[in-house]
């Protein structure tokens, strides 16, 4: 091996964007369309869904039949990476848990996400529960950006006029599947609201857009869409932004450090090429981090200098703090009414057809805030594991073939059971507000580096009673809905010792809060524009700036806030030039 050498590029970009997911993609898109010369660095390879999506592949085209051996969501899923990446470890404080999902590819996790696109509401920005913290901005300030994201990217849904579930500018939603009709019936009896889903899938042509195709209902958004019929940052933001000629994308570029001068202003970044391991440094007037909440925090903490001894942007000591994921818990089973059901294609869209927004408002319960419910089931494409554990439930439906009512089995009767039960599955998952607490954080592990020599993150995350009680409420509600729709529950009902099935932090992949925004530089990392209090040309546009997420999936808010931050950057530049 030769001596360590850093290649310095002389170009000074107007902006360098680290990361190409929802936040980085949107910021880059806005800036290059305003004429700025932007460099985007992505740690993973280039990914174009048109070429690289494994959409419409059959299970037998995978030697493991879609099993999740190398991709946590299965062999055809569009995310490169997962909760564990070879050579890129992370650690935990003893007795705490956090699973960190990273997608290393152009577009990041937006290539495979559920496309569930919910706006945070007025009470999410300014909570009324006296427990969770308020944002420095209101819904009304963000609303125009949500509106623009709706128009620019496309979202289906229905106008419902619910106070904390703001309506958007919607395309038509997909109709419910058969199991979803049963769900709506059961939920109604339980007093749980169910409304059409809200997803970023083009169920109609998107007005004014000629580059994206319309959904053809394969239900495989998770594999990324070859016709760009759903939202991925790769297909909808980065690739279109490249067409302006103003965006340079370097892939396989793992950013090591943000460089700064004696005055503490950021001057560029250094990165390592993950393929040939050569070192580079590049210069930019503005640095924008969209590497994901924890990765951006890691990068800031690893960027120490005389001006920023605790890491760039970290004079408050809060970078990495207030880490929070969503809560999650599930119940599943089958609908006896759907045994031996008639076959037809019900793939529908790959996002949700229906969902339950939090229906209890600010009603006083024994936990803060609330959750929404996502529903599943039906005649999906068979995959590895789809029929595992039949012995746990095939005795729960009355046999019609005259054989003894026994679980398990083999032979023709078992073979017929597989067919009989196919498509009868049904279930639901809660996704709720977890508290953003200073006590939950990621920090730099003093003793460990990754394969590039970059110090790794150490996580410290524990749930409180608030989240545990919320999970209890989920499990009780789900059982009632299942009962009211006539379903048989086959999943284990977790008790208090299992925290009522509350998912390990990080498992829902909604982590945020690590570079929270606020008006006070002692109690927040960024100002309300996503700009670092102590480094004026450093911005964060992923879920790091979230003060406190609601039960709404993050992506639509990341997009709206990133657009808002990018426009603020443009305004600031104008001020400098005038």
Q: Which of residues 28-47 bind another protein (CB under 8 A)?
A: 45
* Strand-strand pairing, 488-489 and 253-260: unpaired
Q: How far from chain centre, in Å, is Cα 340?
A: 36
| Residue 573 engages another protein in binding (rule: CB under 8 A) | no
Give 185: exposed, middle or buried? Use CB within 10 Å, 0-12, 13-18, 19+.
Answer: middle
| Residue 339 engages another protein in binding (rule: CB under 8 A) | no
| Residue 92 engages another protein in binding (rule: CB under 8 A) | no
Q: Which of 347, 362, 445, 567 binds another protein (CB under 8 A)?
A: 347
Residue 356 tokens read as 């339950």
Query: How many residues belong to the site for another protein (CB under 8 A)?
Result: 82
> At closest approach, how far in Å is the CB of 401 from another protein?
13
> At closest approach, how far in Å is the CB of 282 from another protein?
26
How far apart are the C-alpha atoms of 92 and 96, rounded to whole Å? 6
| Residue 300 engages another protein in binding (rule: CB under 8 A) | no
How many helices and strands (H and E) does the chain possess?
11, 19
371-377 β-sheet, strand order: 195-196, 354-356, 371-377, 425-432, 327-334, 488-489
> At closest approach, how far in Å is the CB of 359 from another protein?
21
> At closest approach, how far in Å is the CB of 55 from another protein?
9
* Strand positions, DSSP E, 493-566: 531-532, 535-540
Scanning the structure block, which residue is given the tokens 């003060």?
547
- DSSP per-residue letters across 48-83: -HHHH--TT--GGGSTTTT-SSSSTT-TT-S-SEES
| Residue 415 engages another protein in binding (rule: CB under 8 A) | yes
Stretch that binds another protein, among 264-272, 355-363, 389-397, 450-458 (CB under 8 A): 389-397
Q: Which of 243, 343, 448, 574 binds another protein (CB under 8 A)?
A: 343
* Angle CA 129–132–135, to nearest 5: 110
Of 66 and 127, CB closest to another protein: 66
Stretch that binds another protein, among 191-199, 318-326, 413-421, 455-463 (CB under 8 A): 413-421
Site track for another protein across 491-520, x = CB under 8 A: ------------------------------
Stretch that binds another protein, among 280-288, 299-307, 343-351, 497-505 (CB under 8 A): 343-351
Q: Which of 8, 9, 61, 476 binds another protein (CB under 8 A)?
A: 61
> At closest approach, how far in Å is the CB of 449 from another protein?
21
Instruction: Find the farthest-apart pair of alpha carbons in the chain and give their distance in angstroms, rounded.
Output: 86
Stretch that binds another protein, among 93-101, 143-151, 223-231, 432-440 (CB under 8 A): 223-231
Q: Which of 9, 35, 70, 278 binds another protein (CB under 8 A)?
A: 70
Q: Is the dihedral of CA 401, 406, 411, 417 positive or negative?
A: positive
Cβ–Cβ < 8 Å for 289, 427: no
Of 245 and 404, CB closest to another protein: 404
91-92 β-sheet, strand order: 91-92, 455-460, 441-449
Of 9 and 406, CB closest to another protein: 406
| Residue 306 engages another protein in binding (rule: CB under 8 A) | no
Of 191 and 389, CB closest to another protein: 389
How far apart are the C-alpha atoms of 537 and 419, rounded to whole Å? 60
Scanning the structure block, which residue is given the tokens 């993973």?
44
Of 399 and 469, CB closest to another protein: 399
> At closest approach, how far in Å is the CB of 3 from another protein?
29
Q: Which of 12, 67, 242, 488 binds another protein (CB under 8 A)?
A: 67
| Residue 407 engages another protein in binding (rule: CB under 8 A) | yes
Cβ–Cβ < 8 Å for 110, 554: no
Give, as ranges, the residues between 161 and 220 that touch another protein (CB under 8 A). Answer: 174-178, 181-182, 185, 205, 209-220
How far apart are the C-alpha atoms of 289 and 23, rounded to whole Å? 8
How far apart are the C-alpha atoms of 156 and 274, rounded to whole Å? 39
* Length of the chain as a residue count: 578
| Residue 83 engages another protein in binding (rule: CB under 8 A) | no
> At closest approach, how far in Å is the CB of 404 from another protein?
8
Q: Which of 309, 411, 446, 453 binds another protein (CB under 8 A)?
A: 411
């Amino acid at each position: 091996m030769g001596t360590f050498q850093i290649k310095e590029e002389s170009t000074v970009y107007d902006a360098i964007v680290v990361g190409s997911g929802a936040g980085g993609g949107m910021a880059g898109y806005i800036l290059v369309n305003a004429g700025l010369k932007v460099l985007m660095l992505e740690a993973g390879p280039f990914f174009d869904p048109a070429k690289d999506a494994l959409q419409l592949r059959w299970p037998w085209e995978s030697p493991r039949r879609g099993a999740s051996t190398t991709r946590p969501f299965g062999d055809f899923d569009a995310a490169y990476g997962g909760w564990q990446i070879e050579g890129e470890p992370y650690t935990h404080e003893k007795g705490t848990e956090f699973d960190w999902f990273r997608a290393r590819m152009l577009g990041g996790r937006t290539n495979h996400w559920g496309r569930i696109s919910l706006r945070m509401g007025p009470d999410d920005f300014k909570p009324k529960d006296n427990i969770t913290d308020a944002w420095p901005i209101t819904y009304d300030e963000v609303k125009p950006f949500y509106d623009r994201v709706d128009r620019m990217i496309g979202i289906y849904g229905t106008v419902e006029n619910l106070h904390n579930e703001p309506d958007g500018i919607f395309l038509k939603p997909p109709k419910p599947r058969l199991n979803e009709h049963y769900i709506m019936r059961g939920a109604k009896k339980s007093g749980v609201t169910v409304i059409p889903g809200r997803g970023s899938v083009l169920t109609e042509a998107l007005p004014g857009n000629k580059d994206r195709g319309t959904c053809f209902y394969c239900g495989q958004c998770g594999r990324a869409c070859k016709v760009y019929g759903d939202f991925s940052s790769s297909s909808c933001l980065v690739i279109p932004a490249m067409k302006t000629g103003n965006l340079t994308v370097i892939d396989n570029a793992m950013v090591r450090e943000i460089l700064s001068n004696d005055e503490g202003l950021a001057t560029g970044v250094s990165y390592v090429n993950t393929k040939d391991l050569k070192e580079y440094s590049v210069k930019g007037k503005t640095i924008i981090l969209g590497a994901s909440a924890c990765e951006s925090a890691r990068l800031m903490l690893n960027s120490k200098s005389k001006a920023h001894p605790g890491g760039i942007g970290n004079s408050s000591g809060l970078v990495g703090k207030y880490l929070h994921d969503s809560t999650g818990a599930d119940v599943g089973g089958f609908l006896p009414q759907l045994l031996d059901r008639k076959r037809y294609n019900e793939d529908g869209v790959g996002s949700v057809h229906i969902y339950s927004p939090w229906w209890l408002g600010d009603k006083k319960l024994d936990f803060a805030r609330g959750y929404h419910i996502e529903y599943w089931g039906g005649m999906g494409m068979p995959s590895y594991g789809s029929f595992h554990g039949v012995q746990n439930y095939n005795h729960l439906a009355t046999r019609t073939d005259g054989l003894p009512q026994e679980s398990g089995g083999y032979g023709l009767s078992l073979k017929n059971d597989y067919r009989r039960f196919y498509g009868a599955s049904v279930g639901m998952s809660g996704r709720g507000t977890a508290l953003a607490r200073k006590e939950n954080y990621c920090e730099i592990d003093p003793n460990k580096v990754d394969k590039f020599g970059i110090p790794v993150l150490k996580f410290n995350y524990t749930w409180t009673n608030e989240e545990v009680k919320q999970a209890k409420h989920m499990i009780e509600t789900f059982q009632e809905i299942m009962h009211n729709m006539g379903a048989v529950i086959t999943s284990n009902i977790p008790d208090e010792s299992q925290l009522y099935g509350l998912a390990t932090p990080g498992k829902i992949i909604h982590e945020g809060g690590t570079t929270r925004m606020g008006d006070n530089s002692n109690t927040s990392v960024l100002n309300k524009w996503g700009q670092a209090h102590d480094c004026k040309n450093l911005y964060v546009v992923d879920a790091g700036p979230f003060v406190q997420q609601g039960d709404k999936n993050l992506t639509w808010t990341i997009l709206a806030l990133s657009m808002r931050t990018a426009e603020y950057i443009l305004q600031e530049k104008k001020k400098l030039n005038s």
